[in-house]
């Protein structure tokens, strides 16, 4: 097995340059003069009952799917986010296929401040170009957060979904030597997307204590069946598939169907996912816009989540995420 040597550390938004149609810090440009997001002109009751500024709206940006389960899953996640941050306006918009479209959501927020949090797990076309360009053309004052991954909270959710599907931690070194996980992701031709997926795999491997091999449903390799065969060739026959998808859909179903063994459900409406969404939102508010001297104030009574959440290390140490030799 060959270790994936992608570096870990804080996942900074848009390494290698901002997306097209964005400011140098990676946030969407707003036509019509300076200002960008404002900390809140209106007043509303804060958590302590006092009067405080209304925070910028949080807009969850989902991809959309023809699978009817996807919309319900995303709405359930939205409800978790609202429950964690009472008083925060939370809205939903889709890139394609589902209602409401992102353009309609932003049109309804005309003249107000909004932070768009993509429910996408890696950098790619939608994160770099599609969403920032839609935000820049909207009548709302917008900024766009980084994608959800890589982040330890994502690995926490993946591990929880595997446990729900029946995965148990290996009991000893011999069991670990027979075990492995395939991280099934959508795939992209963008090399940044592959780099992000490898970092997610490494975070999950550190948490599980077994090798984790990234695999893809489209546009990149290896495929999930190829990764399963490669692990079996290395003597790892106790293998599960971790579904690195936000919601049910064609790719998630295809990848889960590639194994006769354990396959986890998509990430979905998990408490750690809701915390991660709010973390990305808070990161934007804590980052000064170009030409300003201070970051926006966070909503009254709330502190940002830590950048990194330490993952437990199994006894005997945890190998890095691995990939089969070519």
Mean pLDDT by 10 residues, the chain (326 residues): 34 40 41 43 46 87 92 97 97 92 97 97 90 95 96 98 97 96 95 96 97 95 96 96 97 96 97 98 90 47 39 38 38
Please give the DSSP secondary-structure letter assigned to residue 124.
S
Query: In 3D, which of 160, 148, 156 has the Cα closest to residue 277?
Result: 148
Burial code (b: 16+ CB inside 10 Å, e: under 16) for 69-85 equals ebbebbeebbebbeeeb
Instruction: State the residue for tokens 């809701």.
Output: 274
Round to whole Å and give the CA distance between 115 and 175.
Answer: 45
Round to whole Å and give the CA distance between 23 and 29.
Answer: 6
Structure tokens that stand for 133 in this block: 């360009």
Structure confidence at residue 61 (pLDDT): 97
Q: What is the DSSP string of 9-36?
A: S---SSTTSPPTTB-TTSPBP-SSSS--
Structure confidence at residue 126 (pLDDT): 86
Dihedral of CA atoms 198, 201, 206, 209 in degrees, nearest 10, equals -130
Structure confidence at residue 299 (pLDDT): 46
Structure confidence at residue 292 (pLDDT): 52
Q: Is-contact 26 289, C-beta < 8 A?
A: no
Structure confidence at residue 319 (pLDDT): 39
Round to whole Å and give the CA distance between 131 and 111.
Answer: 19
């Amino acid at each position: 097995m060959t270790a994936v040597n992608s570096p870990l550390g804080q996942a900074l938004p848009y390494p290698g340059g901002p997306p097209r149609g964005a400011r140098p810090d990676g946030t969407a440009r707003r036509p019509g003069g300076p200002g960008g997001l404002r900390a809140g002109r209106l007043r509303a009751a804060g958590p302590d009952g006092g009067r405080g500024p209304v925070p910028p709206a949080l807009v969850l940006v989902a991809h959309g799917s023809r699978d009817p389960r996807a919309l319900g899953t995303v709405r359930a996640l939205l409800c978790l986010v609202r429950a964690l941050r009472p008083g925060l306006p939370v809205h939903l918009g889709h890139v394609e296929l589902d209602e409401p479209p992102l353009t309609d959501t932003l049109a309804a927020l005309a003249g107000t401040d909004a932070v768009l949090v993509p429910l996408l797990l890696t950098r790619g076309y939608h994160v770099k170009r599609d969403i920032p360009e839609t935000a820049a053309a909207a009548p709302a004052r917008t900024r766009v957060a980084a994608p959800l991954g890589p982040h330890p909270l994502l690995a926490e959710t993946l591990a929880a979904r595997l446990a729900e599907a029946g995965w148990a931690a290996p009991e000893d070194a011999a069991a670990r030597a027979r075990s492995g996980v395939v991280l099934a992701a959508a795939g992209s031709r963008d090399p940044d997307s592959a780099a992000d997926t490898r970092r997610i795999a490494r975070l999950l491997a550190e948490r599980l204590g077994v090798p984790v091999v990234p695999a893809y449903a489209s546009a990149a390799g290896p495929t999930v069946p190829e990764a399963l065969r490669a692990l079996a060739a290395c003597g790892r026959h106790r293998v599960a598939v971790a579904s690195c998808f936000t919601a049910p859909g064609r790719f998630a179903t295809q990848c889960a169907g590639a194994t006769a063994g354990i396959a986890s459900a998509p990430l979905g409406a998990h408490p750690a996912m809701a915390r991660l969404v709010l973390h990305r939102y808070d990161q934007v508010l804590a980052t000064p816009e170009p030409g300003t001297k201070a970051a926006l104030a966070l909503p009254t009574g709330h502190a940002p989540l830590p950048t990194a959440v330490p993952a437990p290390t199994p006894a005997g140490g945890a190998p890095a995420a691995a990939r089969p030799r070519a």
